[in-house]
């Protein structure tokens, strides 16, 4: 698993180990952390390797989960060229590895491939509306190109691929300073700082708790080879950012004040997955309600502080 020490990767490592698999966690620790996998290091079925996926990897495996890539604007805009390399060259290297060892390979794509959508909610058939030269393009277009590579390898080499499009996900082990809305709001509220909203706060997002997302990953990987995706995995419940901020203030008991800042360039106005395909093909849908998930995430960040 590339990106195995990250927020999502560490949860996926944990779940696969609990199912009896042997897991090789590959990470260069740019945004991932050894702390996320420390509790797994004593497991004889778990191995951690420091490696950057922009370089080839020579190992013997049966399945590959490619999760490596900084996923928050703060991190992926820090070195945008490297972000694109991670998505594109990383995909090439993992597809090459999968081809060599005849492994099934999974690509963690993103709802960002839809850009600032004109179709709502977003079904997998929608091609998106993405700025190819903006501040977010290194991530958006990198992930779009990775999808292209996966499907070209499928057509050209008949490889077993699985592509999932991840919508906003939150939960324990999020990086506290990753700039994502859930961690931002919680950290500001717990620290007594002003809680920052961008624009008027009426842009919408859908928030999926990490445990639900990981179930979707494993369900997709377990399907027959004819099922390739892309498949949306996310929570179709839609909330404004202001609603989320008010919930965080309520659950933390914080006296922080809401403050407004200008909307960043190319920030999507609305985002919600159409999960019809996930329900039909995987028998999957989320079960954790936003209030419950946010409470668990707040508790995690309280413990960190």
Hey, which residues are catalytic here? 139
Contact 242, 197 (CB under 8 A): yes
Kindly report the three-state secondary structure assignment for every residue of the chain. CECCCCHHHHHHHHHHHHCCCCEEEEECCCCCCHHHCHHHCCCCCEEEEECCCCCCCCCCCCEEEECCCCCCHHHHCCCHHHHHHHHHHHHHHHHHHHHHHCCEEEEEEEHHHHECCCCCCECCCCCCECCCCCCCHHHHHHHHHHHHHHHHHHHHHCCCEEEEEECCEECCCCCCCCCCHHHHHHHHHHHCCCEEEECCCCCEECCEEHHHHHHHHHHHHCCCCCCCCCEEECCCCCEEHHHHHHHHHHHHCCCCCEEEECCCCCCCCCCCECCHHHHHHHCCCCCCCHHHHHHHHHHHHHHHC
Alpha-carbon gap, residue 3 to 27, rounded angstroms: 5
């Amino acid at each position: 698993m590339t990106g195995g020490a990250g927020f999502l990767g560490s949860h996926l490592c944990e779940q696969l180990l609990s199912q009896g698999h042997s897991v090789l966690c590959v990470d260069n620790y740019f945004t991932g952390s050894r702390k996320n996998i420390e509790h797994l290091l004593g497991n004889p079925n778990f191995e951690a390797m420091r490696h950057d996926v922009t370089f080839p990897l020579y190992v013997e495996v049966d399945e590959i989960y490619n999760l490596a890539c900084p996923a928050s604007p703060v991190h992926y805009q820090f070195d945008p060229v490297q972000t694109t390399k991670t998505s594109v060259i990383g995909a090439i290297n993992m597809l090459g590895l999968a081809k060599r060892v005849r492994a099934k390979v999974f690509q963690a794509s993103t709802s960002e491939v839809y850009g600032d959508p004109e179709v709502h909610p977003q079904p997998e058939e929608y091609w998106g509306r993405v700025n190819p030269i903006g501040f977010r393009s290194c991530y958006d277009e990198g992930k779009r190109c990775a999808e292209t590579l996966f499907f070209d390898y499928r057509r050209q080499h008949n490889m077993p691929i699985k592509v999932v499009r991840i919508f906003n996900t939150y939960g324990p082990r999020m990086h506290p300073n990753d700039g994502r809305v859930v961690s931002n709001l919680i950290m500001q509220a717990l620290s007594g700082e002003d809680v920052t909203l961008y624009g008027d706060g009426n842009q919408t997002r859908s928030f999926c708790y990490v445990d639900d997302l990981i179930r979707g990953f494993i369900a997709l990987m377990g399907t027959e080879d004819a099922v390739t995706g892309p498949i949306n995995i996310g929570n179709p419940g839609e909330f404004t950012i202001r609603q989320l901020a008010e919930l965080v203030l309520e659950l933390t008991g914080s006296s922080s004040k809401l403050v407004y800042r200008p909307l960043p360039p190319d920030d999507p106005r609305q985002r919600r997955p159409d999960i019809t395909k996930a329900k039909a093909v995987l028998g999957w849908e989320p079960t954790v309600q936003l209030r419950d998930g946010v409470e668990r995430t707040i508790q995690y960040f309280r413990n960190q502080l």
